[in-house]
Amino acid sequence: MKRSLIAGIGSALPEKVLTNRDLESIVDTSDEWIVQRTGISERHIAAEGETTSDLALAAAEKALADAGLTSSDIDLIVLATATPDQTFPATACTVQDRLGMHHGYAFDVQAVCSGFLFALTTADAHLKAGSAKRALVIGAETFSRILDWSDRGTCVLFGDGAGAVVLEAHDADEETSPRGLLTAHLRSDGHFRDKLFVDGGPSSTRTVGHLRMEGREVFKHAVATITDVITDAFEATGESAETIDWFVPHQANRRIIDASAKRLGIAEEKVVVTVQHHGNTSAASIPLALDVAVRDGRIKKGDLVLLEAMGGGFTWGSALIRW
């Protein structure tokens, strides 16, 4: 049986940092309100002209360097984004070209904040099917481009960034190599599509549009959906809140993260939190948080890492990885 291992990881953030204090001069808000309701203190914002593919490329190059590989070793790119450079071609194809890669295949997936888990699961399926041997899985966003900077209920929540992993197919021997992606569970329910959406698009309005959200409604569903899909992961593998080493949730809101961990019985010290510095970077948030925890030495080879995300659609999902 084939199993997908993470062979390298990297991330990239725009240089510009926008603090809560900076936001006080843009909308009627306060550092206290934002910190108390979300846990966010600052976020990175792309400079004029800086695109999703710029951030994705930088993250991908770091992930390749971390794996000791070059783009010639990659034959698949799956890029999750809700903020592509252009409607088409896929931002993945732009990254492919900018990596100097003219073989293999590249495409985008769109599941908003759950995008990285959908991309990871998709790439895993391609590796297991034998259609590719090594994939770059990227989550990259420039949400600052779709925010309504006069809407204090949304513009304080999001940031820009990218994270990438190199996923490699291995012949798994359950006795000697239990590492890799152990299980993944994806869900969506379009019934909730009007709770978190962008009010534009080429087919409906011929504009890009702005992010709109019923924050309370999203919050209400987030904890329930997250805990359900994590329970699926535990049931599928026999693992539990006690046996996991690290919980790396989608970084949307500190209160959602804390409430989910508490409901699942996951100890506070196992939870990786970066939302205070990154804000919600949608599809980039999980690989950005993973990269922080790998770089600072928390996540080590052999650790059991639980990922989860929930976002517009609604979409949601979980994954368990033996690092």
Select from 50-58, 138-146, 174-182, 216-224 the region that touches ligand ACO (CB under 6 A).
216-224
Residue of 93, 113, 155, 278 marked catalytic: 113
Q: Which residues are within 8 A (CB) of 104 and not within 5 positions of it... i.e. 6 or more apart?
A: 74, 75, 76, 77, 96, 132
280 labelled catalytic = yes
Vertex 86: Cα angle to 85 and 91 (nearest 5): 55
Vertex 281: Cα angle to 166 and 206 (nearest 5): 105
Distance of alpha carbon 99 from its chain centroid, rounded?
21
Q: Which residue is nearest to ligand ACO (CB)?
A: 215
Spell out, one character per residue from 103 to 142, where the chain touches ligand ACO: x when CB under 6 A holds, - when not.
----------x-----------------------------
Q: Among residues 22, 133, 153, 199, which is the contact residue for ligand ACO, using CB under 6 A?
A: 153
DSSP 123-145: HHHHHHHTS-SEEEEEEEEEGGG
Q: Among residues 4, 11, 38, 318, which is the contact residue for ligand ACO, using CB under 6 A?
A: 38
250 labelled catalytic = yes
Choice between 264 and 304, CB closer to ligand ACO? 264
Mode of pairing for the β-strands spanning 105-109 and 76-80 = parallel
Residue of 250, 253, 277, 278 marked catalytic: 250
113 labelled catalytic = yes
Q: CA gyration radius for the chain?
A: 18
Residues in contact with ligand ACO by the rule CB under 6 A: 29, 33-34, 37-38, 113, 152-153, 156-157, 196, 213, 215-216, 218-219, 222, 250, 252-253, 280, 310-311
